[in-house]
Amino acid sequence: MQAQALPSIDNKSLRERVLNALRDAIVHGEFRPGQPLIETELAAQMGVSRAPLREALQILSKEGLVEVVPYHGATVRALDTRDIEELYSLRIVLETFAARLVIETDGDDASRALRSCYAEMLAAAEAGDLTGVSRIDRRFHDTLIAMAGHKLLETTWNAVSLRVRYVMALRNRRNRDIRQIAYNHLPIIEALEARDFARVSALLEAHIASSRDLLVEGWDMMVQAASQDSAT
């Protein structure tokens, strides 16, 4: 009797688990910019073969989180200051557009969703949970985009969201008081509730620009430190 082939979904599931683990480690800042991702070491740590690991690295390369150089291996993509400038200038456009659409429609649902994010973010900050703050911070901005009800806007946002998550996690690590990360979101909610687009736009631009400036200020030094740590 011919042996029954194993269902391919098992292999796919393994690849997805490897991919999600690596992606989370990168966007949470556990792997730093410029850090080599050595297949043999990662495979041993995760208890998997190199095949699903290699597939995951190729996907992460397409997502812009990893650089894969043939015959040289993979490294966490070290964004430069121009990358950050471009990413954050695009964020300003996308998020202010989303805010305008929320204001033009019934924004009560958006207000409740964003206030829920704010409350959770503040609770995580008061508990000293930086990872939780970063996760809810991302959810706040994802929610603002989603509540705009504009499919093409959401598709565009999703195309850059992983890089947004990556740099937001690195930025939040540079905040001395993580409660301030939560507090910075409350005026945005209040301006949305007041249907004051001029104020919302100004607050979002200042909020995003301050994050960009905080990152750019020490980015080159952070990348250099990561490279030195990797070398040792």
> What does pLDDT average to over the chain?
84
More confident residue, 103 or 217: 103
- 226-231, Cβ contacts within 8 angstroms, sequence gap of 24 or more: 226/32, 226/33, 226/34, 226/35, 226/76, 226/78, 227/34, 227/35, 227/78, 229/32, 229/35, 230/32, 230/34, 230/35, 230/36
Helix 197-231 and helix 186-193, axial crossing angle in degrees, nearest 10: 160
pLDDT digits (tens, 9 = 90+) for 49-76: 888 999 999 999 988 889 988 878 899 8
Contact between 198 and 93 (Cβ < 8 Å): no
Contact between 96 and 201 (Cβ < 8 Å): yes
Contact between 107 and 115 (Cβ < 8 Å): no
* Residue 231 confidence (pLDDT) above 90: no
- Indicate the range of 23-32, 154-163, 190-199 predicted with least confidence: 23-32
Q: What is the mean pLDDT of residues 22-29?
A: 82
pTM of the model: 0.73
Q: What are residue 75's phi and psi, to 5 degrees?
A: -135, 155
111/96 Cα distance (integer angstroms): 15
pLDDT digits (tens, 9 = 90+) for 100-153: 999 998 778 999 999 999 999 999 999 999 888 888 998 999 999 999 999 999
Coil, helix or strand at residue 196:
coil
214's enclosing H/E stretch is: helix 197-231
Show the tokens assigned to 14: 């393994």
